[in-house]
Structure formats: structure tokens, C-alpha cells
Amino acid sequence: MGAQPTRGAAEQGKPAEFGRLYERWQQAKDPEQRIKLAEEVLALEPAITAWELAAPREHIKEELWFVIAKAYFDRRRGGWADNLEKAIVALEAALTVRTHEALPREWAATQVTLANAMRAASAASGRTTWKRRSQCGLNEGRRRRAWATPEATEL
């Protein structure tokens, strides 16, 4: 009878699996595959206790969330409104890592992208305002005019 793998052994394999998935995501060209792999990597991330990648954990997370959002924003497959909603959710998740204090330029770029996605979602649904406007951070007084586009300030 062979030895049963212990839970500790399974957990030890998670960083390697995470690294392999992240590498596959980096190499993937197909937008659908990139979305799928990025979502798999993000789902596995909380289980990683020993971080083995050279890049900081927060950098990987913000990169993945932002790329997922962009992929959904540009996606041709599926419904436009559904893709925009998924992009908005991913951008909001990116903003939990891309904070104004930690990454001000990335935060600003994400805010502008979020504003554009919200505007597009409003146009797609026929609404004049987006229900999450107060959650997007544009109304928090932290906006810098030098970084915001005129379109982003019109929300």
C-alpha cells in the first residue's frame, strides 16, 4: 500500500502550480485563455503561504486583475453589457491593490479605465449614471486633474 499524500504535501505543491499557471498566463496569446488562466491564478493565490515568485504578490494580483478587466473590456465574445460588468468588477478588484498611496500612477490609470468602462456600460444600458459611481473612487477627492482625462471627470 502506497503512502497517502498529506495535506501539507498538497499545500507545498500550490506555489509550484501557481508559478506554472502564472507562466502559462504570461505566454498565452488567446484572450479567452488569458482570462481563464488569470482567473485560475487569482483563485489559487489566497492558498499560497510561501511566496516564491520574484515579483511581489501585490504586483502580480494587480497586474492580473487589470489584464482581466482589459480583456473583458475588449472582448468580442459574449454580451457587451455582461463583458463591461465583468471588466468593472475586475477593475474594482484591481483598485484594492492599486491604491493611490502605493501606486499612484497605476491607480490613476485604473480610475480612468474604470470611468471609461462605466460610461460605456451606461451607454450600453441606456442609463445616464452608473450605479457604482460613488464606489469608483472618483468622488473621494483623491483625483488628480493632471492624470484624469476630460471624459473621466464628466461622470
**Rounded Cα distance, 103 and 95, in Å:** 10
Q: What is the amino acid identity at position 104?
A: P
- Mean pLDDT, rounded, of the chain: 78
Residue 93 clears pLDDT 50, i.e. is over it? yes
Tens digit of each residue's pLDDT (9 = 90 or more) over 122-139:
887 765 444 444 444 444
**Rounded Cα distance, 155 and 35, in Å:** 28
84-112 mean pLDDT: 93
Percent of the chain with pLDDT over 90: 47
Cβ contacts of 70-76, under 8 Å, gap ≥ 24: 70/113, 71/31, 71/34, 71/35, 71/38, 72/35, 73/113, 73/116, 73/117, 73/120, 74/31, 75/31, 75/35
User: Residues 72, 87: contact at Cβ < 8 Å?
Assistant: yes
What residues contact residue 100 under an 8 Å CB cut-off, 6+ apart?
107, 108, 137, 142
Using DSSP's 3-state secondary structure scheme, residue 81 falls into helix
**Predicted TM-score (pTM) of this structure:** 0.70
User: Grid coordinates in use for 150?
Assistant: 476630460
- Of residues 21 and 131, more confidence is placed in 21
